[in-house]
């Protein structure tokens, strides 16, 4: 089934579409299938990018004076294109037009909408913003054809139009973007059938009928060593548009089995219900001095406020059994026993970065509140974490600067904050030091701390040539500390400092990261590890 020409052509259309979204309108793509032996083939796509469209100027193609809403839109659009070195990017245009046209609808200005077009004059290209007069036809019926697995009501929940609405061009475009982003839909098309005062919409769906996957993977982390994972998932479970994932992960520290189900609400697609059950066995003998077994379940409601902002609130129940303490010290024995834990969690995320693995521009902020209330939990505590990453650069520039900040605060509502609930520092989160190698310890037992911070300043770019090599280089300097353990005799704030460099190799499957860092400032009890290596995560 993998050798059907329509599959190759479908992939080519997807690649062409992505290139055109970035302004490579004259690109060309071909493919070649090479037989290596009787059972193995190599599929090669040859891409000729050619020139990317450069926007010489953004112009307004209407005579009257624009209002305040348009001024805000125009300035925002211009600023984003300046950051993008004035190269064409359809995503930027769509996002800004969506915000402007929605403001028109909210203020009941429905006789026109704003659209964009590319104009050529004397070998220069202009981005023209013009007004499109709306016909103000009412949507009568919405018909869906081509879906044999996905239910009609699932598809209807993803579109921005309902029967009885006025048909606005930007809502039609928004609906198509939403549908084409779904992994269980290969492509979608909306046709209009006009009557006198109304219009019917026929939505044609090219459906992906194979939405289940089997995962078999290995990994390596400088913190937890070799890992192995098996998983089964389906991102259109029984045609519901919901996701079901089951996984078994094992590394040198823990073995975890989990089943997760993500339900998209049909009446409010920006809301999701997330259910999980899990069983975890941990061997923490070399770090916290005991072993642990956990069984539990959780529920979380997620809300996508916008494409960049999302939040969630959840509750989780754990039945914990900590055992096999290596000695009778109180920092170990206070962890030992059976604990019924209810944990409440709230998180807020803002993400405007341009890449999931190796961003070079934008900002990522995340704040997380975790609380285990005294009235319903055997081990009560709270935790607050804040992550902030800022990247100064763009997709077109070969280098960038970045700042990465991490802050954590925690404490117990009753007695000491157990070491298992404290923060740890070192390894991948503080390069130059060993995993859980920063902060107080007693013999081989790590104590951690109730508070920590790290600040990293760095510079990144391509290692040798350009982005085609997929090898990225960073140099960095990190300052940080961990303090406030309820079991340490010395809880003074002691700063640490390290400097180093890293190489991230972005393979087709996962990133591979190498780093070398030297501690410039350390305490006697800290453990050093200069070289670190991981598969599956970048810097």
CA atoms of 381 and 392, how far apart (whole Å):
37
pLDDT at 173 over 90: no
pLDDT at 242 over 50: yes
Dihedral, 132, 133, 136, 137 alpha carbons, nearest 10? -70
Which residue in 218, 220, 214, 212 sits closest to 236, CA to CA?
212
Q: Residue 211 has what pLDDT? A: 81
Q: Residue 384 has what pLDDT? A: 98
Q: 242 vs 122, 174, 182, 361, CA distance in Å?
A: 51, 21, 11, 32
Q: Tell me if 251 sits within 8 A of 409, measured CB to CB.
A: no
Which residue in 307, 456, 457, 461 sits closest to 394, CA to CA?
461
Report the DSSP pairing between strands 198-207 and 138-145.
parallel
Comparing 59-68, 142-151, 317-326, 413-422, the range with the smallest average pLDDT is: 59-68
Q: 302 vs 2, 310, 344, CA distance in Å?
A: 36, 7, 14
Instruction: Tell me the two tokens of residue 276.
Output: 């999980």
pLDDT at 59 over 50: yes
Q: Residue 468 has what pLDDT? A: 54
DSSP code, position 184: T
Question: Please, what's the b/e burial string for 21-39 (b: 16 or more CB within 10 A of its CB; e: otherwise)?
Answer: ebbbeebeeeeeeeeeeee
Comparing 30-44, 428-442, 475-489, the range with the smallest average pLDDT is: 30-44
pLDDT at 104 over 70: yes
The DSSP result for 14-35, as a single string, is HHHHHHHHTT-TT-EEEEEEEE
Which residue in 422, 399, 139 sits closest to 288, CA to CA?
422
Dihedral, 111, 114, 119, 125 alpha carbons, nearest 10? 170
DSSP code, position 152: H
Q: Tell me if 531 sits within 8 A of 507, measured CB to CB.
A: no
pLDDT at 310 over 80: yes
Give every CB contact of residue 454 below 8 A, 6+ residues apart in sequence: 404, 405, 406, 425, 429, 430, 478, 479, 480
Q: What is the pTM of this model?
A: 0.77
Q: What is the pLDDT of residues 270-302, one digit of tens each?
A: 899 999 999 999 999 999 999 999 999 999 999
Give every CB contact of residue 399 below 8 A, 6+ residues apart in sequence: 393, 459, 460, 461, 462
Q: What is the pLDDT of residues 492-517, one digit of tens each?
A: 899 999 999 999 887 766 678 899 99
Backbone phi, then psi, for 206, in 5-degree steps? -100, 105
Helix (H, G, I), strand (E, B) or coil at 363: strand
Dihedral, 429, 298, 274, 370 alpha carbons, nearest 10? -40
Q: Tell me if 497 sits within 8 A of 520, measured CB to CB.
A: yes
CA atoms of 538 and 503, how far apart (whole Å):
9
Q: Residue 195 has what pLDDT? A: 80
The confidence band for 359, taking pLDDT boundaries of 50, 70 and 90, is confident
Rg (CA), the chain: 27
How many helical (H) and strand (E) elements, i.e. helices and strands, does the chain have? 6, 28
CA atoms of 407 and 7, how far apart (whole Å):
47
Q: Residue 397 has what pLDDT? A: 59
Comparing 44-53, 128-137, 229-238, 426-435, the range with the smallest average pLDDT is: 128-137
Q: Residue 1 has what pLDDT? A: 47
């Amino acid at each position: 089934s993998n050798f059907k020409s329509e599959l190759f052509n479908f992939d080519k259309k997807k690649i062409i579409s992505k290139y055109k979204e970035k302004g490579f309108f004259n690109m060309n793509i071909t493919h070649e299938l090479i037989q290596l032996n009787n059972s193995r083939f190599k599929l090669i796509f040859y891409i000729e990018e050619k020139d990317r469209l450069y926007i010489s100027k953004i112009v307004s193609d209407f005579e009257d004076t624009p209002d305040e809403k348009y001024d805000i839109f125009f300035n925002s659009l211009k600023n984003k294109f300046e950051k993008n070195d004035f190269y064409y990017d359809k995503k930027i245009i769509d996002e800004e037009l969506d915000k402007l046209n929605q403001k028109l609808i909210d203020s009941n200005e429905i006789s026109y909408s704003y659209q964009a077009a590319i104009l050529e004059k004397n070998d220069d290209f202009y981005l023209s913003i013009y007004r499109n007069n709306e016909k103000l036809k009412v949507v009568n019926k919405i018909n869906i054809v081509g879906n044999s697995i996905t239910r009609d009501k699932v598809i209807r929940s993803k579109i921005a139009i309902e029967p009885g609405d006025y048909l606005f061009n930007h809502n039609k475009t928004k609906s198509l973007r939403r549908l084409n982003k779904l992994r269980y839909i290969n492509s979608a098309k909306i046709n209009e059938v006009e009557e006198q005062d109304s219009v019917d919409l026929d939505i044609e769906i090219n459906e992906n009928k194979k939405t289940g996957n089997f995962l078999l993977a290995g990994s390596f982390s400088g913190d937890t060593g070799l890992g192995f994972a098996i998983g089964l998932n389906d991102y259109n479970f029984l045609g519901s548009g919901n996701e079901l994932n089951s996984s078994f992960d094992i590394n040198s520290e823990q073995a975890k089995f989990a089943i997760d189900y993500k339900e998209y609400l049909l009446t409010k697609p920006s809301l999701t219900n997330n259910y999980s059950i899990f069983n975890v066995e941990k061997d923490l003998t070399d770090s916290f001095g005991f072993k642990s077994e956990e069984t539990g379940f959780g529920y979380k409601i997620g809300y996508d406020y916008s494409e960049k902002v999302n939040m969630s609130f959840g509750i989780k129940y754990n039945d914990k059994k900590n055992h096999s303490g290596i000695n009778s010290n109180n920092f170990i024995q206070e962890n030992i026993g059976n604990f019924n834990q209810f944990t409440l969690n709230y998180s807020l995320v803002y993400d405007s970065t341009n890449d999931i693995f190796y961003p070079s521009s934008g900002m990522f902020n995340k704040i997380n509140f975790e609380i285990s209330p005294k009235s319903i939990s055997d081990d009560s505590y709270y935790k607050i974490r804040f992550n902030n990453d800022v990247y100064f650069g763009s997709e077109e520039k070969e280098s960038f600067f970045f700042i990465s900040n991490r802050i954590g605060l925690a404490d117990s509502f009753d007695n000491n904050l157990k070491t298992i609930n404290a923060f740890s520092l070192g390894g991948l989160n503080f390069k130059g030091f060993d995993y859980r190698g920063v902060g107080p310890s007693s013999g081989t037992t790590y104590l951690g701390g109730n508070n920590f911070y790290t600040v990293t300043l760095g510079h990144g770019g391509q290692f040798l040539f350009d982005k085609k090599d997929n090898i990225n280089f960073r140099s960095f300097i990190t300052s940080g500390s961990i303090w406030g353990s309820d079991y340490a005799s010395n809880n003074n704030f002691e700063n640490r400092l390290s400097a180093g460099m890293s190489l991230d190799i972005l393979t087709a499957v996962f990133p591979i990261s190498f780093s070398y860092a030297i501690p410039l400032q350390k305490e006697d009890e800290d453990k050093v590890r200069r070289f670190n290596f991981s598969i599956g995560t970048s810097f």
